[in-house]
Amino acid sequence: MPTMFYNTLSHSLAEFIPLVPGPDSADPLRGAVIRMYSCGPTVYDYAHIGNFRAFLFADVLRRYLEFRQARVQQVMNMTDVGHMTDDAVADGAGQDKLQLAVEKMKATKKSGQALVADPNNPFQVADFFAAAFLADARALGLAVVADYDRADDAAAREVVMPRPTRHIDDFIQLIQRLLANGHAYVAADGVVYYDVGSFGAYGKLSGNDLSRLAHGAGGRTNSQAAKRHPADFFLWKPDRAHLMRWNSPWGEGYPGWHIECSAMAMHFLGESLDIHTGGEDNIFPHHECEIAQSEGATGKEFARCWMHTRHLMVNGEKMSKSKGNFFTMGDLTGKGYDPLVIRYALICTRYRETTNFTLQSLHEAAAAITSLRDLADKLTRTVAAVDEAAGDGDTAGFAGVEPGRTAAHAVLLAADEAAMIDEFSQAMDDDLNISAALAALFTWANPLAKKGKLDYPTARSGLAALRRVDHVLGVIFPPLRALPPVIQKKVDALMHQRLQARKSRDFTASDALRRELAALGVDVQDTPAGSTCRPRLAPPV
RNA sequence: GGCCGGAUGCCCGAGCGGACUAAGGGAGCGGAUUGCAAAUCCGCGAUUCGUGGGUUCGAAUCCCACUCCGGCCUCCA
């Protein structure tokens, strides 16, 4: 079955064929090199789970392509240029968002918790939130951040998650190119604008057309004398008062908010990309403008496939700051949810559906992950026991290699496993239908989990299959977060206390202790051999 | 006003013309086991797919109308 993705550009499902396909025409993904650009976070504040849903969608997409044996070069920007809160006239009005962040930082400093040394320094503020983003993203298992962490120096990291403030020269060059070929102009107010009228394809992504943009009820109608068309957007704005500003041929100022993605994507990935991802809100105007800038400059198709994820709702409502109904990672981990639970809850529905996020969905996720992890444990123990007895230490072959890439692929799968992998893959080929893919996984996993004793070939094959799907899912094999040492001490003490209570058959005390332990984040299980405990993925209900 | 999506059991969510007596997950209920516990195991929950028409031998799946919900058109993932 061909790999079908919904392409916002064509408004339809179409087979995805890489620009540089692999050698096998029957399976163009295998061995392909796929260049993918993902619109990343702005680092003016903590990212919320709605943001992370979009990044996780890109992550699952990338991981699935790797599952299919493609090599993916993914670039995700971290926007640290202070863009404007009120860009309604496509002209940089309102307040600088980084300026707002700086004000907030100053406020927290006054209240005694200094988050950065100098809250007046926008670069420090941006660095602070960039670090916070990376920490959250690591916990969620974003592969692009793993790449970033593996990069050995700052320059190498820059390739993976570039920061616009370090690419101002690229922006200037791109703007000069657009000026030279007539797609941009310097207006009477000294601002450099993109001339949308010069780019006939403007609107091809979003379905907007210029006449409607000029006259529609949805804003952007403000006439600005300096611009040729109301939809013209600025590329560079001279402004000596702006918080972050740089020298340019058009005076000291700052870049427009669309130029960074065009410039950095082309800088690192070339003039044509395979896939460009983002949230649905990026379609217009951001991605529309990216296309105009990039294709206006190069004359080549900028991105072959545009993929957008729908918004996340919280408790049935759109997330918004005024309602205060958004969660950050810290909010949820603080309540006792493991990041892997959050990951699962955010990836387990198809990216093109509006999804409603609730705390209940986290508990469902915890239950689902727990059963898969229990199966993985059982398979691992079975394999390890035999390998140990045989003395070949072969289990290292599983642990040491990046999952999904080599070792797991090298293990020949039994018929059941192969069928599951095939079904999983077919579902994902259908525009990343992860619900159906998960159904295939559970349908295979449940009987295996219920079987009492497994033979070695079954366990080994099952483990390899689980590792392969988990290369996409990323929730079965990554370690859970560790209990803080202080809590661990308490847990040990309570477990001991409980053992005493059970010895004297004081089950009331034993159960009370179980609840205490649950509140601390561990689940207790009693077996004939004694009591054990393990970390909980979610707090008790 | 323009342009898009969506409505499936208690909840989430697949299915997109015949294998649907509707996947999978969660919650619930009954039983086994147990400490009248936790964990585990076995079993049970939609004659029905927003409403009304239509097409068809056959519709959750196609067409029309209606109702409701959501998104974008403006900073947002």
Query: Each residue of A262-315: pLDDT tens digit?
Result: 999 999 999 999 999 999 888 888 999 999 999 999 999 999 999 999 989 888
**Is residue A284 within 8 Å of A250, Cβ to Cβ?**
no
pLDDT single digits (tens) A178-197: 999 999 999 988 999 999 98
The pLDDT of residue A368 is 96
Measured in degrees and rounded to the nearest 5, phi and psi for residue A507 equal: -75, -25
Interatomic distance A59 CA / B59 C1' (Å): 37
List of residues 6+ apart from A195 with CB closer than 8 A = A182, A183, A184, A185, A228, A229, A232
- Spell out the long-range contacts of A474-479 with Cβ–Cβ below 8 A and sequence spacing 24 or more: A474/A59, A474/A63, A474/A141, A474/A143, A474/A340, A474/A343, A475/A141, A475/A340, A475/A343, A475/A344, A475/A369, A475/A372, A476/A369, A476/A372, A476/A373, A476/A376, A477/A376, A477/A403, A478/A141, A478/A340
Q: What is the CA angle A212-A214-A219, rounded to 5?
A: 95
CATH number of A4-309: 3.40.50.620
List of residues 6+ apart from A4 with CB closer than 8 A = A13, A14, A15, A16, A429, A430, A431
Which residues of chain A carry a pLDDT beneath 70? 83-95, 112, 212-225, 321-322, 391-410
A427: nt with nearest C1' to CA: B14
A282: nt with nearest C1' to CA: B77
**Environment class of residue A200 by beta-carbon count within 10 Å: exposed (0-12), middle (13-18) or buried (19+)?**
exposed
The pLDDT of residue A111 is 72
Nearest residue: Cα versus C1' of B75: A85
Interatomic distance A265 CA / B54 C1' (Å): 51
A527: nt with nearest C1' to CA: B39
Nearest residue: Cα versus C1' of B76: A281
- Going by C-alpha positions, the residue among A473, A465, A524 that lies closest to residue A497 is A524
The pLDDT of residue A213 is 67
Interatomic distance A389 CA / B70 C1' (Å): 58
CA A507 to chain CA mean position, Å: 46
Interatomic distance A530 CA / B36 C1' (Å): 22
A371: nt with nearest C1' to CA: B25
Please give the Cα distance from A388 to A407 (Å, whole number): 19
Please give the Cα distance from A184 to A179 (Å, whole number): 5
Q: What is the CA angle A51-A137-A331, rounded to 5?
A: 65
Domain map (residue ranges) of chain A? 4-309, 360-473, 485-535
**Environment class of residue A438 by beta-carbon count within 10 Å: exposed (0-12), middle (13-18) or buried (19+)?**
buried
How many CA atoms lie within 13 Å of A21's alpha carbon, on the beta-carbon side? Answer: 10
A443: nt with nearest C1' to CA: B24
A283: nt with nearest C1' to CA: B72
Q: Protein footprint on strand B: which nucleotides are under 7 Å from a CB? A: 1-5, 11-15, 23-27, 35, 37-42, 70-77
Nearest residue: Cα versus C1' of B41: A450
| Cβ atoms within 10 Å of A373's Cβ, excluding its own | 20
